[in-house]
């Protein structure tokens, strides 16, 4: 009765969500709080004097300054790489735009530690340049090394965001501005930039949180950021209390990024209403500037894609490893995938009730639930992993060092990634059909499986691909939580490279890049505008 009424009025907000949705959503939210609760329990084990001593160390201030400097450096560099690139592929007559677009997204498939090793391998007296061409440049490390490594593989996030914002932008707006006599620069300043800001900020948030949490690239570049200090406390000292305090400080920093983005976007979104016309924006003619544009594209692609591929080949060819090394690759890949795929499916399954609730039944509770999923993403992976180690050791020992715990932790870390595509798929599919199905006597479960799920298929697949990509490259969570002997591609690459066995690591790194590229391809394939 109530449902047919809802069908008539088209209103869904008043209806109470069924327990089928509410209960899973609450369970997911509670799961998300596990690492946070454990972090605080651990930190509270220090007595007050000890805690103050740990918090007020001069070193923490240095770490904070280093971490902030790194974040802003990376944001500046990624903007320099992503913004012109996105404009070139959406608004100019650049040739081979599709190929350039794909090449600009492929760096997502390169793990940060591989990028860092590639950078470390070129320079130095014993690096590739010195040994192949007798060119001696000093090794890049420390701050600039970390900025370079992180920028080169995170810039696609900003590129993708800006690109879709440019594609979705109402071209009528620019046209009317032009007819009113605005010049190109004025249009860029008054129309393009303000409308791109939300996309830029969203990209900045993703990249900023990545930078805070990354430890592979930072450790290899020997740059003392928070995440590296946490790893050192763990690996050299296993000091859980100091590690917990460092983690809380880093979490606070991450959450401040999240809120900053919310505040800035809220102010901006007021003037960016309207969904954009279907008419593609006119493309600027590059003319004489074309060679310059190509130079730019070539440099960015060579650095971000060419460099890691070239260094992997160099190591493989320099001292080709035993055939037996290659024979391990398929098994290791299957091992990685056998954990990453369930994690991807689990993350998508956990994202579903949360997204459904927040879109079909918006309320204060559902909004709260939707925000909690960002905890997993905002928590640096290493911190999340440490929290789960302690959780398993002290509360759920049956889970300790099991595959289930690894999969579960990956799902917690990637839930926010999974909600994105599922959320937009839900928004695009109108609720009327579900209500009609309800009115026709379909049970909630039948409605879900026969009506809703088919319409969300694309979104769910994209979510699975995103999470899969993350897990295949993921290092800290795997490192701490994987069952003994469960060496994934990422762990193998990291442990071999840290022993200086570049050639023995290269086939595994190549496998990560190859298969991650396939999931990148899947994500892009979904888009019509490519």
Partner 1 sequence: MRKSWLAAATLSASLVSGIAAANELTLYSGRGESFVQPIVNQFERDTGIKVNVRYGDTAQLALLLQEEGTRTRADLYWGQDAGAMGSLAKDGLLATLPSRVYDDLPAIYTSRTGQWVAASGRARVLTYSTERVNAADLPSSVFELTDPKYKGRLAVPPTNGGFQAFVTAMRVQHGDERTLEWLKGIRANEPVIFRNNTTSVQGIADGDVDFAIVNSYYLPRFVNADPNYPVAQTFFAAGDIGNLVNVAGIGVLAPSRNKDNAVRFIEYLLSQSAQQYFTSVINEYPVTPGVISNPVLTDLSELLVLAPEIDLDELADLPGTLRLLRDAGLM
Handedness of CA 364, 365, 366, 371 (dihedral sign): positive
- The token duo for 497 is 């490279």
Cβ-based neighbours of 15, under 8 Å, separated by 6 or more: 2, 3, 6, 361
CB 496 to partner 1: min, Å? 7
Angle at 393 between CA 413 and CA 353, to 5 degrees: 35
Query: Which positions from 224 through 243 interact with partner 1, judged by CB under 8 A?
Result: 224, 232-240
Q: Quick one: which of 495, 514, 525, 527 contacts partner 1 (CB under 8 A)?
A: 495
Using only the alpha carbons of the chain, give its radius of gyration. Answer: 24
Binding mask 344-383 for partner 1 (x = CB under 8 A): ----------------------------------------
Q: Which of 158, 156, 166 is nearest to 195 (CA)?
A: 166
Q: How far is the CB of 338 from partner 1 (least distance, A)?
A: 16
CB of 71 to partner 1, least distance (A): 21
Q: Does 329 bind partner 1 (CB under 8 A)?
A: no
Phi, psi of 284 (to 5 degrees): -70, 145
Distance CA 426, CA 214 (A): 31
Rounded least distance, CB 104 to partner 1, Å: 31
Choices 21-29, 71-79, 91-99, 133-141; region in contact with partner 1 by CB under 8 A:
133-141
What's the closest the beta carbon of residue 503 comes to partner 1, in angstroms?
A: 10
Kindly tell me which of 59 and 184 has the beta carbon lying closer to partner 1: 59
Tell me which of 107, 111, 123, 213 binds partner 1, using CB under 8 A.
123
Contact with partner 1 (CB under 8 A): which of 112, 127, 156, 459? Answer: 127
Specify the residue, 319 or 338, whose C-beta has the smaller distance to partner 1. 319
Distance CA 172, CA 187 (A): 12
Q: How far is the CB of 329 from partner 1 (least distance, A)?
A: 15
Are 130 and 136 in contact by the 8 Å Cβ rule? The answer is: yes
Shortest spacing between CB 500 and partner 1, in angstroms: 4
Give min distance, CB of 52 to partner 1, in A: 16
Q: Does 134 bind partner 1 (CB under 8 A)?
A: no
Among all chains, which residue has been given the structure tokens 């040994």? 131
Tell which positions 59-88 bind partner 1, by CB under 8 A: 59
Q: What is the end-to-end Cα distance of the chain in Å, rounded? A: 46
Asked if residue 91 binds partner 1 (CB under 8 A), the reply is no
d(CA 382, CA 213): 7
Handedness of CA 479, 482, 484, 487 (dihedral sign): negative
- Asked if 126 touches partner 1 (CB under 8 A), the answer is yes
Q: Specify the DSSP element, H or E, that contains 158.
A: helix 142-168
Three-state secondary-structure class, residue 92? strand
Q: State the number of binding residues for partner 1 (CB under 8 A).
A: 36
Which residues contact partner 1 by CB under 8 A? Answer: 59, 123-127, 138-139, 141, 219, 222, 224, 232-240, 319, 393, 397, 400-401, 483-485, 495-496, 498-501, 504
């Amino acid at each position: 009765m109530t449902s047919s009424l809802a069908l008539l009025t088209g209103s869904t907000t008043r209806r109470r969500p069924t327990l089928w949705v509410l209960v899973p959503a609450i369970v997911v939210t509670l799961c998300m709080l596990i690492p946070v609760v454990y972090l605080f329990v651990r930190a509270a084990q220090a007595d007050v004097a000890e805690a103050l001593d740990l918090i007020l160390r001069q070193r923490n201030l240095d770490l904070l300054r280093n971490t902030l400097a790194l974040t802003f450096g990376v944001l500046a560099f990624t903007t320099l790489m992503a913004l012109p690139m996105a404009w070139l592929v959406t608004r100019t007559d650049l040739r081979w735009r599709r190929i350039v677009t794909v090449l600009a997204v492929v760096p997502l498939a390169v793990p940060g530690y591989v990028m860092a090793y590639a950078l470390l391998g070129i320079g130095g007296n014993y690096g590739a340049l010195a040994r192949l061409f007798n060119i001696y440049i000093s090794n890049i490390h420390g701050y600039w090394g970390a900025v370079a490594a992180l920028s080169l593989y995170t810039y696609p996030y900003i590129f993708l965001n800006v690109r879709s914002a440019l594609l979705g932008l109402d071209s009528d707006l620019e046209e009317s501005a032009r007819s009113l006599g605005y010049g190109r620069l004025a249009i860029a300043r008054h129309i393009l930039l303000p409308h791109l800001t939300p996309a830029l900020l969203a990209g900045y948030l993703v990249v900023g949180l990545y930078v805070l949490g990354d430890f592979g690239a930072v450790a290899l570049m020997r740059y003392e950021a928070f995440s590296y200090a946490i790893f050192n406390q763990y690996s050299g000292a296993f000091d859980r209390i100091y590690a917990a305090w460092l983690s809380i400080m880093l979490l606070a920093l991450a959450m401040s990024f999240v809120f900053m983005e919310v505040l800035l976007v809220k102010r901006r979104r007021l003037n960016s209403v309207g969904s954009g016309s279907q008419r593609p924006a006119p493309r600027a003619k590059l003319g004489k500037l074309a060679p310059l544009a190509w130079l730019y594209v070539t440099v960015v692609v060579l650095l971000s894609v060419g460099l890691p591929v070239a260094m992997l080949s160099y190591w493989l060819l320099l001292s080709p490893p035993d055939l037996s090394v290659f024979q391990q690759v398929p098994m290791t890949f299957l091992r990685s995938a056998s954990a990453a795929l369930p994690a991807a499916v689990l993350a998508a399954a956990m994202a579903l009730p949360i997204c459904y609730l927040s879109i079909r039944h918006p309320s204060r509770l559902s909004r709260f639930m939707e925000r909690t999923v960002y905890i997993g993403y905002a928590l640096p992976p290493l911190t999340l992993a440490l929290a789960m180690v302690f959780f398993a050791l002290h509360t759920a020992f049956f889970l300790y060092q099991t595959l289930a715990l690894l999969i579960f932790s990956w799902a917690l870390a990637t839930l926010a990634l999974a909600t994105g595509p599922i959320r937009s798929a839900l928004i695009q599919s109108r609720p009327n059909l579900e209500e009609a199905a309800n009115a026709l006597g379909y049970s909630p479960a039948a409605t879900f499986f026969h009506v809703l799920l088919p319409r969300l298929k694309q979104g769910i697949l994209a979510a699975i691909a995103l999470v899969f990509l993350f897990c295949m490259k993921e290092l800290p969570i795997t490192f701490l939580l994987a069952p003994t002997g469960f060496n994934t591609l990422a762990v193998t690459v990291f442990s071999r490279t840290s022993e200086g066995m570049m050639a023995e690591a290269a086939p595994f790194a190549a496998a990560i890049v190859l298969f991650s590229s396939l999931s990148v391809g899947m994500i892009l394939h979904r888009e019509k505008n490519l």
